[in-house]
Amino acid sequence: MAVDYEKDASVNNLRNFLRIRSVHPNIDYAECLTYLRGQASELGLPVQVFEPVAKKPILVMTWEGLEPTLPSILLNSHMDVVPVFEKSWTYPPFEARLVDGVIYGRGVQDMKAVGVMYLEAVKRLKSKGLRFKRTIHLSFVPDEEVGGLKGMGEFVKTEDFKRLNVGFSLDEGLASAGEDYHVYNAERSIWHMTVICPGKSGHGSLLLPDNNGEKIRYIIDKFMDLRQESKNKLKADSSLTIGDVTTVNLTMLHGGIQNNVIPEKLTVSFDLRLATSVDHQEFENMIKRWCSEAGANLSYEFDQKDPYVGPTKVDDSNRFWVAFKGAFDKLKLPLKTRTFPGGTDSRYIREKGIPALGITPFALTHPQIHEQDESLRVEAFLRGITIYEEVIPALANVKHD
């Protein structure tokens, strides 16, 4: 007998959140705040809204613990979603259509479902009259999908964040296509860079010296060779995932004004994601050497250059990890630890020395972040709520020295 999910309150709660078009660019977060204030009111939780950057609000709900001086637990999620090509979707991306037990909508995996699962799990825990040692904060932040610099990136620098007294943070991960649940304790460092290759301008019929075409070819070859090295590593070792290697992608080429005029400058841009094993200074020195070898007067600049941030420990020295894993063990759910291939707001938390894990607790689910027809089985969503019902108390009751 088919289950009628149309009448499930938690499912409809998610669908209502998905219908809010918090889509880049130029997001107005007012509707999200209205929705979240309503959720907090229903839960009986106080709300604070911070705005370290104008029009980039951060909403925090707080469930005070029995020992509120203990470092708190932060359950973080982001409100924004990436743009869509609406004509390529089977169903309208902001309708939250429910078809045969599957919800279709932009953000259903990345990551509005996770935020709603936090809310629904807290709702169930509170309905049982439970209280925990540590205070729990639920944060909903802006602009993660454009790097988070004006969202969590700025928030962690404020006294408001410091007063939250965060001792541990949970954030997003990726769905798992297999039976294992993937938990992410580290992220690669994002470097977005452009190499500028100047040269002698002149007529396109000549073989002038100091040619920027030769220079840019040398640079591209070096970066593409590095890309191939990473591909070879993945092919040679099946235990490695994309998060374990440095990825290199050429993303933009610029230059020239007319086909028969040699330009005075050509530029090439790369998206680099540095593996956690990479020494940042050595890596940049390598780039400097390539620029020197390519010819005269090459330079480079960064649009983004993340610092090295160490992984969160996943051993007995981290009591939050022990509690987190213990909750999954209790549910008999297998865990695999991974390095996140992209970037999440956890990197800003870890940079402050706060342990952070990322998980999107969906197994047997194809990861569909940023894809058209982004979707999620209702069963996986409801199972995720049950998982957080176990995980949140375990974290919030971690003992303090």
DSSP 8-state secondary structure symbol assigned to residue 107: T
Residues 6+ apart with CB under 8 A from 172: 77, 78, 110, 111, 114, 344, 358, 359, 360
Judge whether 53 and 153 are in contact, CB under 8 Å. Answer: no
Q: Which residues pair with 61 in a beta bridge?
A: 47, 138
CA distances from 172 to 16, 41, 301 (A): 20, 25, 30
Fill in the amino acid letter for 17. Answer: F
CB-side neighbour CA atoms (13 Å) of 394? 19
Catalytic residue from among 80, 110, 244, 374 = 80
Q: Helix, strand, or coil here: 144?
A: helix
pLDDT of residue 1: 54
Catalytic residue from among 143, 144, 145, 306 = 144
Map out the domains of the chain with their CATH numbers. Answer: 5-187+341-396 (3.40.630.10), 189-305 (3.30.70.360)
Judge whether 336 and 182 are in contact, CB under 8 Å. Answer: yes
Residue 208 has which token pair? 């002038």
How confident is the prediction along the chain (401 residues), in pLDDT tens digits per residue? 567 899 999 999 999 999 999 999 999 999 999 999 999 999 999 999 999 999 999 999 999 999 999 999 999 999 999 999 999 999 999 999 999 999 999 999 999 999 999 999 999 999 999 999 999 999 999 999 999 999 999 999 999 999 999 999 999 999 999 999 999 999 999 999 999 999 999 999 999 999 999 999 999 999 999 999 999 999 999 999 999 999 999 999 999 999 999 999 999 999 999 999 999 999 999 999 999 999 999 999 999 999 999 999 999 999 999 999 999 999 999 999 999 998 999 999 999 999 999 999 999 999 999 999 999 999 999 999 999 999 999 999 999 87
Going by their DSSP bridges, the two strands 299-305 and 189-198 should be labelled as antiparallel
pLDDT of residue 254: 98
pLDDT of residue 4: 85
Q: Measured in whole angstroms, how far is the alpha carbon of residue 171 from the centre of its chain?
A: 8
4 catalytic residue (yes or no): no
Residue 157 has which token pair? 């620098």
Residue 245 has which token pair? 């290697």
pLDDT of residue 367: 96
pTM of the model as a whole: 0.93
Q: Which residues pair with 262 in a beta bridge?
A: 202
Judge whether 372 and 88 are in contact, CB under 8 Å. Answer: yes
pLDDT of residue 3: 77
80 catalytic residue (yes or no): yes
Nearest to 60 by CA among 130, 158, 128, 146: 158
Residue 325 has which token pair? 């894993």
Cα dihedral 253→214→261→196 (10° resolution): 50
